[in-house]
Amino acid sequence: MPNNPLCNPAEHTLSRRRMLGAATAGAAGLGLGAIFQPAVAEELSRNDRQVLLMWLDGGMSQLESWDPKPNTRFGGPYRSIGTSLTGVRISELMPRMARQMHRLAVVRTMKTEDPNHSSGVPKILRGHPKDRGVTYPYMGSAVAKMLGPTASGLPPYVWVKPGNGGFISKHAGFLGAKYGAFAIGSGKPPTNLVRPNSISDSDDAARQELRERFNRRFAARRHPGPSEANSYVYDVAQALMKHEDLFDAETLSAKDRERYGDHDLGRNTLLGRRLLEAGVRFVHVQSYGWDTHGDNFNAHASRVPKVDQALSALLDDLNQRGMIDNVLVIVMAEFGRTPRINGCVGRDHWPNAWSLAMAGCGIEPGVVVGETIADGTDVATEPYDIGHMFHTWYQALGIDSSHHEFTNGTQPLPVAHDDMHAVKELLS
C-alpha cells in the first residue's frame, strides 16, 4: 500500500470497514444470498463477472501443448504449428486453439514450488499465499466470497467433474464451509433435485414460507450466521430446481455436443458454459488423469485434442454470445511435466518452468508472456509464481488484489501473496 501512489488511505479504510460490515451485519430477514453479500459491492458490481477454470488434474505437459520444443532432445515426437499470432507456435495437438491464439494469453514461465500432487494442487488452487497459519480458500471459494452469487441465486462456486457430486466444504478454508464447492458429478442432477409429485407448488411455497418465518424468529436475537447459511442453502436448492434442464442431456443440441466433444471434458465444459449462462459465478471444470508418468506422448495425443476441442468451442460460444468480456477463462494444472523422458516414455512432475493459459474478462488477448530456454529445462525470462497469477486474475475481475483483504475473525488477510503483483502484460 505505501508504495502505491494511487492508493488513497481513506478510501482503503472505508472499503475495509464495508467489508467487515458485510461479515458481521447480515441482519435477519435477508433472504437470497444474504450471507454472500458481496464484500465491496459498489466497486465490484459494475457488471457480472464470471470465471471458468478448466483444471487438468495431474499436470498437462507444457511441451505437448503451449510451449513446444520440437526437434530437441526432450521435445518429444510432435511438431509445432503456426498460430493466428505471428511468430507464436504451439503443439500440433492443438490445431483449433492455434486458430484462436489471438484470443488467448499464455504464460510460459510459471515457476512454482511444489512437485507433489497432494500438496501442490491445493497450493496452486489457493494461490499459494504466505503462510499465516490459516488455510486459504481455493480460488472458487475466494471469488464466491468477494463477488458473491449473481442474481440467479445459483451456487456461486460449482465444480463440474466426472464421478460423484456433492458438497466440498474444505475448499473454503478459513472463509467457512458455506463458501465450499457445489459439485455436479458426471452432469447428473444433485440427489433429490426433483420434488415428489405429492407436494404441490402451493404446498411447497407454504411450508417454505413457514420455515423462513421460524428461522427469522430464531435468528432475531442470535448470531445470524447459522440461520443465514441455512436459509441460503434452501434458496440455492430452489434456484437449482428452476434449472433442471441443465442436467437433462436431451435439452442439448446435437451440434453443441459434437462441437465440445463426446467425452468427459467436452460434456463438462459444455455444462460449464450452460452454468455460466444460468448465472453461476465460478465454474471449475475438472479433468482427471493427466499424471502421465508412463506413455506420456500417447496419453497427450489422446487428451490434448480434447482440451483443444472443448476450449475452442467454449471460446467461440463466449465470443458469439458476447460473454467473453465478462467471463475469465483459465486453463491450468498443478504443474507441467519434466522435459526429461523417463524409461516408461513418460514425463514426471515439473513445477520448474511450465505454462498456463487464460482469456476473456480483463485479459489482454493475443499475448505470450515469458520464454523458456531452448531445451525447455528452465525459464529464460522472469519466472512467475501462482501468486502473480492470482493478482492478475483478481485484477482482471475488478478486485484490487493488493489492497483488498479477507478477514478471518478479526485477522485481516491479503487475498493474494503480498510480495507478488499482477503481470501487467496480461491485463487489458
Partner 1 sequence: MDTRWLMFAAPLAICSFVSADEPLHRRIDAQIQSTADAQGIKLQPPAGDAEFVRRVYLDLAGRIPTADEVRLFLADESPGKRTTLVDQLLAKPGFARRMADQFHVMLMERRGEHEEWTRFLRSAFGRNAPWDEIATAIIQPDAEDEHLRGAAYFMTARLVSEGAMADVDVPGLTRDVGRLLAGVDLQCAQCHDHLDIEDYTQQDFQGLHMVFENVQVRRDTKFPAVSEKLMTEKKQYMSVFIQKPEETGPVVPGGREVEIVTFEKDREYATPPDKKKRIAGVPKFSPQRELAAGLTAKDNRLFAKNIANRMWFAMLGRGLVEPLDLQHAENPASHPELLSMLASELAARDYDLRWLVRQLALSETYQRTSLLADSEAAPPSDSFAVAAQRRLSAEQLFRSVLSATGELSRHGVALDAPPDSVDAAISKSDELKKLQASFKKAYANPPKEPELEFAPTVEAALFVMHDEALLKLLTPREGNLIDRLGKMEDQDAMIDELFLSVLSRPPTAEDRQDAAAFLANHAGERDAAIAQLAWALLASTEFCVNH
Partner 2 sequence: METDAQPIAQPKQLTTIETDRQYRVIRFSPNAKTLYGAGFDAAIHRWDLSGELPTELLVLPGHHGWVESLIFAAKHNLLLSTDSWGQLCAWDIAPENPRPRWRHAEAHDGWIRAASISEDQTLIATAGRDGTVRVWSVTDGKLLHELPGHEHEIFSVAVHKSGQAAASADLLGNLKHWELPSGKCVREVRLESMHYHDRDHDVAGLYSLRFHDAGKTLLCAGSQPNLTGNVGGIPSICWLDWESLEVTKTMEFGEKKQGYVYDYQFHPDGYLMLVTSGAPGAGQFICQRLDEEQPFFTTTKMSNCHSLAFDAASNRCIVAATNRNSQGNGAVRDKEGKYLGNTSPLTIFELPAMVDA
Q: Where along the sequence are the contacts to partner 1 (CB under 8 A)? A: 24, 118-119, 131-133, 155, 166-170, 176-178, 180, 182, 190-196, 198-199, 203-204, 206-208, 210-211, 213-215, 217-219, 221-223, 225-227, 229-234, 236-237, 240, 291, 293, 409-410
Radius of gyration of the chain (CA): 22
Nearer to partner 1, 17 or 424 (CB): 17
What secondary structure letter does DSSP report for 86?
T
SS (H, E, C) 87-98: CCEEECCCHHHH
Burial 378-400, CB ≥16 within 10 A → b, else e: ebeeebbbbbbbbbbbbbbbbbb
Binding site partner of 177, from partner 2, partner 1, none, Cβ cut-off 5-8 A by kind: partner 1
Site string for partner 2, 81-110 (x = CB under 8 A): -----------x------------------
Candidate segments 14-22, 217-225, 263-271, 326-334, binder of partner 2 by CB under 8 A: 263-271
**Residue from 49, 303, 391, 417 that binds partner 2 (CB under 8 A)?**
303
* Nearest C-alpha neighbor of 160 from the set 271, 246, 257: 271
Q: Is the dihedral of CA 117, 375, 331, 247 positive or negative?
A: negative
Residue 9, phi-psi category: left (phi > 0), alpha (psi -120 to 50), beta (remainder):
alpha
Residue 406 touches which of partner 2, partner 1, none (CB < 5 to 8 A by kind)? none
C-alpha cell of residue 180: 465450499
Q: For residue 236, give Cα distances in angstroms to 193, 224, 242, 294, 424.
A: 11, 18, 10, 43, 37
Closer CB to partner 1, 158 or 341, in the complex: 158
Q: Does 299 engage in binding with partner 2 (CB under 8 A)?
A: yes
By a kind-dependent CB cut-off of 5 to 8 A, residue 303 interacts, out of partner 2, partner 1, none, with partner 2
Minimal distance, residue 35 CB to partner 1, in Å: 10
Please answer whether residues 181 and 168 qualify as being in contact, where contact means their C-beta atoms are separated by less than 8 angstroms: yes
What 3-state DSSP class applies to 423? Answer: coil
- 191: contact with partner 2 by CB under 8 A: no
Binding string, residues 363-392; x marks residues near partner 2 by CB under 8 A: ------------x-xx--------------
Q: Please state, in angstroms and rounded to a whole number, the distance separating the CA atoms of residues 99 and 222.
A: 58
Kindly tell me the burial class for residue 162, based on how many C-beta atoms sit within 10 Å of its own C-beta (0-12, 13-18, 19 or more): middle
d(CA 240, CA 226): 21
Q: Is the backbone of residue 347 left (phi > 0), alpha (psi -120 to 50) or beta?
A: beta
Q: Which of 342, 381, 411, 428 binds partner 2 (CB under 8 A)?
A: 342
Stretch that binds partner 2, among 77-85, 98-106, 196-204, 320-328 (CB under 8 A): 77-85
CB of 279 to partner 2, least distance (A): 28
Beta strand ranges found along 196-326 (DSSP E): 282-287
133 binds, among partner 1, partner 2, none (CB under 5 to 8 A by kind): partner 1
Question: Residue 99 has what DSSP assignment?
Answer: T
**416 sits near partner 2 (criterion: CB under 8 A):** no
272: contact with partner 2 by CB under 8 A: no
Of 69, 124, 64, 74, residue with least CA distance to 417: 124
Closer of 298 and 428 to partner 1 (Cβ)? 298
* 186 is an interface residue for partner 2 by CB under 8 A: no
Figure out which of the listed residues 293, 316, 383, 421 binds partner 2, where binding follows CB under 8 A: 293
Give the interface with partner 2 as residue ranges (CB under 8 A): 58, 70-71, 73-79, 92, 115-116, 162, 263-265, 287-295, 298-299, 301-303, 306, 338-346, 348-352, 375, 377-378
